[in-house]
């Protein structure tokens, strides 16, 4: 940490290559020299031994302190521009000191202040050190401190000045006292949730699953929502049984809607709507039952000659067996159920493009 | 100084709301029937042979040991390991490291009045933030990741909790014990208040056990979907957690157990916000963290949770 001659450092400000051991900061553009040292020796993205980084920062910091001191207190050059340079470098160095190593800064800045006051550089004291809060690093600007540490109020209490943050600390102290009082009174309630009747039924699997011809789709959805999509943890076997129970109810009411006498157009619509919803759920919960039963439904539809239902609903709405087109139970290697649709002059509403590659 | 003040007041509303949302949301989704107790404990989890919940540790017993001895680890981990991923033992705290996020999963500490007392032989200003060379370079966070990131190197195991020996304190400055924390208004203030609160518990209780760690909580966006979103900083992409938790168990002299559980957002929190605002049911933290805290304690054995009788 030897002091360096000004003539030497002036040259370094413009030099391209800086020797490895040289931490010179010139007087021409000190901030730039300083930043270059930080960038190349301290803020290095590669993994470097922390002792090396610390040593590099300490040497850069020592050099910065040296130059700041000379810019302020040496009588060379115009004071105006040197003071400006010193203030910029001080600000920059302090920012890094807060992160890397605040203690040397905190000790040195007291000496700098004393020298500033001794030489009665009161503008610099008020406008730079006080106003820009360039005193000791503390919890306001540095993660090496926290609110338990003593704020550096005293540092600023000279030559008629006070710390710019003095007022906020007072407010804060008052608030903390208040908060401590409040804390005793405040108790957060955590009411334990009661298990609702639906959740209890979802957990036990004990519920009635009957659908009516009036509104089967909505009834189906409501059953699924209450007993299958419930947000309680249900054992898999109970869950599966509940799904099956509701699926059986869906199949039963579809069968009734279509085959209790001749179905009205309205009943056919209801049956198709529910069938589509049920098929969607089956594709998620397990399509095997659906894929067996849908053949029986198709055969009965054709026997009863419900050809509109066959063409407009089952074929057009693609209500045949579940496959890779609608269910994650399958992938492209599984054969598509083309044959299912090849009845009464119809064809599947999709092509076997899946197997092309 | 008006700007930060206003921001602080705004943050109060946001954080209180966030904490409330977390509490109610998780509360709503929790198992209503207490089936936790019905789950069988997994057999054969590798545990340290010396870890046992056998007895209370007398507060006056001196625990100064400069190596991570089995007996000290056993004391700290008395009530169970939250998880077993990359567990590292220091002389006075235990840490599980999240190699993907380059921050801890959790740290566990055991505090007594003695271990948090001011000690002239321990000087925090002598400690340096340093990389943890026991972590593989791929997963190591570095000072350069944090510099000018806008975040503090936030201790999980707080330096102020480990004052029996300088080395205990030094070891909390490993960057593996850090997560990016908002500085003013959080790390250096509100979070510090919570840490001080935990230390203060040692005045009432002979032993205080605390687990601390990060959370990455989901939030709902305008499309109605829920996302987990968090910043990563530096060339090592260190995760910036959205929240932090502390789950605390205190042993009273009559051997009763008291639990407290907090979740605080990693953002500016107004100084006038009482920390009790951030109390949440412990199971909500467990669900969010993917960890179980103090699972050697049946929750029904606790005398109080967050100050309320069980």
Give B63→chain A minimum CA distance, Å.
25
Asked whether the predicted pLDDT for residue A302 surpasses 90, the reply is: yes
**pLDDT-derived band at B119, boundaries 50, 70, 90:** very high
Whether A183 sits inside 8 A of B275 (CB atoms) is yes
Residue with tokens 């401190």: A145
Q: Which residue has the higher pLDDT, A305 or A351?
A: A305
Collect all residues with Cβ–Cβ distance below 8 Å to B235 and sequence separation of at least 6: A45, B144, B145
Closest CA to A9 of A85, A107, A111: A85
Q: Do B187 and A182 touch (CB under 8 A)?
A: no
> What are residue B238's DSSP bridge partners?
B233
Question: Does residue A6 surpass a pLDDT of 50?
Answer: no
Q: What is the mean pLDDT of chain A?
A: 88
**Residue A10 has what pLDDT?**
43
Residues of chain B contacting A165 with CB distance shorter than 8 Å: 1
Q: Do A190 and B28 touch (CB under 8 A)?
A: no
Average pLDDT over residues B114-124: 93
Chain B residues near residue A97 by CB distance under 8 angstroms: none
Position A298 confidence tier, pLDDT thresholds 50, 70, 90: very high
Nearest residue to A66 via CA among A125, A129, A108, A114: A108
Whether the model clears a pTM of 0.90, i.e. scores above it, the answer is no
Looking at the predicted structure, is the pLDDT value of residue A13 above 50?
no
pLDDT for residue B159:
95
The C-alpha angle B46, B51, B54, rounded to 5 degrees, equals 135
- pLDDT cut 70: percent of chain B above it: 80
Report chain A residues whose CB lies below 8 A from the CB of B305: 190
What is the maximal distance between C-alpha atoms in chain A? 113
pLDDT reported for residue B28: 46
| Whether residue A266 has pLDDT greater than 60 | yes
Distance, C-alpha B42 to centroid of its chain = 25
Euclidean distance between CA atoms B69 and B90, whole angstroms: 9
A265 pLDDT higher than 80: yes
Q: Is A84 helix (H, G, I), strand (E, B) or coil?
A: helix
Structure tokens at A280: 């969607």
Cβ burial, residue B126 (10 Å; 0-12/13-18/19+): exposed
| Contact state of B188 with A143 under an 8 Å Cβ cutoff | yes
Q: Do A47 and B274 touch (CB under 8 A)?
A: no
Q: Which of B155, B165, B243, B258 is an active site residue? A: B155
Which stretch, A180-189, A300-309, B18-27, has highest mean pLDDT? A300-309
How many other β-carbons are positioned within 10 Å of the β-carbon of residue A293? 18
ipTM of the complex: 0.73
pLDDT for residue A5 = 43
Between B43 and A17, the more confident residue is A17
pLDDT in tens, A23-39: 999 999 999 999 999 99
pLDDT at A214 over 70: yes
How far is residue A255 from each of residues A206, A216, A217, A219, B227, measured CA to CA in Å? 24, 12, 14, 16, 43
From the list A43, A146, A190, which residue is nearest B147 (CB)?
A: A43
Q: Which of A145, A146, A188 sits opposite B306 (nearest CB)?
A: A188
By CB neighbour count within 10 A (0-12 exposed, 13-18 middle, 19+ buried), where does A301 fall? Answer: buried
- Are B32 and A232 an interchain contact pair (Cβ–Cβ within 8 Å)? yes
Say how far apart CA B19 and CA B227 lie, in whole Å: 17
Q: Report the mean per-residue pLDDT for chain B.
A: 86
Query: Which residues neighbour B288 within 8 Å (Cβ) at sequence distance 6 or greater?
Result: B22, B26, B215, B217, B245, B263
Q: d(Cα B78, Cα B50) in Å, to the nearest integer?
A: 9
Mean pLDDT to the nearest integer, B127-151: 94
Whether the Cβ atoms of residue B293 and residue B83 lie closer than 8 Å to each other: no
Predicted pLDDT at A206: 92
Q: Is B155 a catalytic residue?
A: yes
The pLDDT value given to residue B292: 97
Least confident of A69-78, B57-66, B164-173, B234-243: B57-66
pLDDT digits (tens, 9 = 90+) for A74-111: 977 678 899 999 999 999 999 999 999 999 999 999 99
Among A58, A146, A149, A198, most B C-beta atoms within 10 A, so best to mutate, is: A146
Is B33's pLDDT higher than 80? Answer: no
| Predicted confidence (pLDDT) at residue A123 exceeds the cutoff of 90 | yes
Give the model confidence (pLDDT) of B200-214 as tens digits: 999 999 999 999 999
**Which chain A residues are within 8 Å of B184, Cβ to Cβ?**
139-140
Please provide residue B102's backbone torsions phi and psi, each rounded to the nearest 5 degrees.
60, 30
| Candidate from A82-91, A188-197, B300-309 with smallest mean pLDDT | A188-197
> Is A194 or A169 the better-scoring residue by pLDDT?
A169
- Segment B99-112 shows an average pLDDT of 98
DSSP B279: B
Of B5 and A124, the structure prediction assigns the larger pLDDT to A124
Hey, is the C-beta of B141 within 8 angstroms of any chain A C-beta? no
The answer, yes or no, to whether residue A170 has pLDDT greater than 60, is yes
User: In a 10 Å sphere around its CB, with 0-12 CB exposed, 13-18 middle and 19+ buried, how is residue A158 labelled?
Assistant: middle
Residue A139 has pLDDT above 50, yes or no: yes
- Lowest-confidence range among B60-64, B118-122, B267-271? B60-64
Annotate A205-253 with DSSP letters as a single string. Answer: T-------SSSHHHHHHHHHHHHTS-SS---HHHHHHHHHHHHHHHHHH
- Identify whether the C-beta of residue A346 lies closer than 8 Å to the C-beta of residue A310: yes
């Amino acid at each position: 940490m030897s002091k360096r001659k000004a003539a030497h450092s002036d040259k370094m400000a413009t030099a391209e290559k800086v020797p490895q051991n040289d931490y010179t900061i010139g007087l021409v553009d000190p901030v730039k020299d300083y930043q270059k040292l930080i960038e190349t020796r301290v803020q290095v993205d590669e993994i470097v031994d922390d002792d090396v980084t610390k040593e590099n920062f300490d040497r850069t910091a020592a050099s910065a302190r040296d130059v700041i001191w000379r810019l302020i207190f040496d009588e060379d050059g115009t004071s105006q521009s040197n003071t400006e340079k010193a203030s910029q470098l001080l600000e920059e160095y302090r920012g890094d000191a807060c992160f890397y190593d605040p203690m040397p800064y905190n000790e040195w800045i007291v000496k700098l202040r004393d020298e500033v006051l001794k030489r009665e550089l009161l503008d610099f004291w008020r406008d730079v050190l006080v106003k820009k809060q360039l005193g000791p690093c503390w919890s306001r600007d540095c993660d090496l401190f926290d609110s338990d540490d003593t704020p550096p109020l005293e540092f600023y209490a000279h030559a008629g000045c006070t710390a710019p943050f003095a007022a906020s600390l007072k407010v804060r102290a008052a608030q903390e006292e208040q908060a401590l009082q409040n804390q005793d009174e405040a108790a957060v309630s955590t009411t334990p949730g009661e298990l609702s009747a639906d959740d209890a039924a979802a957990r036990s699997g004990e519920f009635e699953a009957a659908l009516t011809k009036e509104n089967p789709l909505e009834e189906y959805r409501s059953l699924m929502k209450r007993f299958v999509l419930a947000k309680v943890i249900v054992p898999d076997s109970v869950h599966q049984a509940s799904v099956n129970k509701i699926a059986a109810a869906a199949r039963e009411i579809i069968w009734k809607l279509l085959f209790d006498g001749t179905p009205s157009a309205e009943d056919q619509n209801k049956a198709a709507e529910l069938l589509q919803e049920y098929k969607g759920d089956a594709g998620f919960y397990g399509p095997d039952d659906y894929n067996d039963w849908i053949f029986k439904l198709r055969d009965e539809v054709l026997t009863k000659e419900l050809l509109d239902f066959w063409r407009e609903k089952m074929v057009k709405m693609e209500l045949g067996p579940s496959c890779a087109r609608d269910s994650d139970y399958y992938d492209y290697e599984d054969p598509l159920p083309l044959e299912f649709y090849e009845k009464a002059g119809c064809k599947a509403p999709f092509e076997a493009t899946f197997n092309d590659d | 100084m008006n700007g930060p003040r206003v921001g602080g007041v705004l943050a109060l509303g946001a954080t209180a709301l966030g904490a409330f949302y977390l509490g109610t949301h998780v509360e709503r989704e929790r198992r209503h029937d207490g089936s936790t107790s019905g789950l069988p404990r997994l057999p054969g989890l590798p545990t340290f042979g010396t870890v046992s919940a056998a007895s209370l540790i007398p507060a006056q017993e001196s625990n100064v040991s400069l190596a991570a001895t089995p007996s000290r680890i056993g004391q700290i981990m008395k009530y169970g390991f939250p998880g077993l991923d990359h567990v590292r033992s220091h002389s006075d705290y235990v840490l599980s490291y999240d190699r993907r996020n380059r921050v801890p999963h959790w740290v566990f500490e055991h505090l007594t009045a003695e271990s948090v007392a001011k000690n002239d032989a321990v000087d925090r200003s002598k400690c340096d933030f340093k990389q943890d060379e026991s972590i593989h370079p791929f997963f190591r966070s570095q000072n350069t990741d944090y510099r000018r990131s806008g975040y503090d190197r936030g201790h999980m195991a707080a330096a102020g909790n480990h004052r029996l020996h300088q080395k205990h304190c030094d070891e909390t400055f490993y960057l593996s014990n850090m997560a990016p924390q908002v500085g003013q208004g959080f790390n250096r203030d509100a979070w510090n208040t919570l840490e001080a609160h935990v230390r203060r518990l040692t005045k009432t209780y002979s032993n205080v056990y605390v687990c601390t760690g990060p959370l990455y909580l989901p939030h709902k966006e305008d499309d109605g979907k829920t996302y987990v979103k968090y910043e990563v900083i530096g060339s090592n992409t260190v995760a910036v957690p959205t929240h932090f938790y502390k789950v605390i168990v205190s042993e009273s002299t009559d051997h009763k157990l008291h639990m407290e559980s907090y979740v605080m957002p990693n953002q500016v929190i107004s100084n006038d916000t009482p920390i009790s605002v951030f109390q949440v049911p412990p199971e909500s933290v467990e669900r969010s963290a993917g960890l179980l805290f103090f699972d050697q304690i049946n929750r029904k054995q606790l005398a109080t949770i967050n100050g309320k009788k069980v």
